[in-house]
Amino acid sequence: MADARRMGKSELFSHFAERFEMKRTKARDFFDALAELAEEQLKRSGEFVLPGMVKLVVQKRKARMGRNPATGEAIKIPAKTVVKARITKQLKDAVLPRK
């Protein structure tokens, strides 16, 4: 992965299939099962942790007032629930330059 473009799903499945000597469909099945597990855990407990990489957290946002950037008019932004990704300190330290 020397070039600067991002890795797509196809390349991701191929990488893991090669790395662990399995068929691409088996690698795809693994990632599908991981996505299903993350969804189940988020619905059940509100969080899902992929150790050493990321923690997904369900967060409720309150209703608030905002501004339409085109007109400057005040608008009401409704309350909503979102999923936030929090990158682990271990991964941040490995990727980001130290100050």
Q: Assess whether 41 and 74 both reside in one domain.
A: no
Residue 72 belongs to domain spanning: 46-99
Tens-place pLDDT, residues 59-75: 999 999 999 999 999 99
Q: State residue 4's pLDDT score.
A: 64
For the cut 70, the answer to whether the pLDDT of residue 90 exceeds it is yes
Q: In terms of domains, do 50 and 93 share one? A: yes
Q: Give the chain's domain count.
A: 2
- Choose one of 13, 29, 45: the last residue of a domain: 45
Same domain, 56 and 91: yes
Predicted local distance difference test score (pLDDT) of residue 1:
44
Burial tier of 58 (Cβ tally within 10 Å: 0-12, 13-18, 19+):
middle
The SS3 assignment for 14 reads: helix
**pTM recorded for the entire structure:** 0.77
Mean pLDDT for all residues in the chain: 92
Mean pLDDT for the stretch of residues 7-20: 94
Q: Are residues 52 and 87 in the same domain?
A: yes
**Percentage above 90 pLDDT, the chain:** 85
- CATH code of the domain in which 53 resides: 4.10.520.10
Q: What is the mean pLDDT of residues 21-26?
A: 95
The predicted model gives 19-26 an average pLDDT of 95
Identify the sign of the CA torsion 39, 41, 43, 47. negative
Q: Check whether residue 57 and residue 87 sit in a common domain.
A: yes
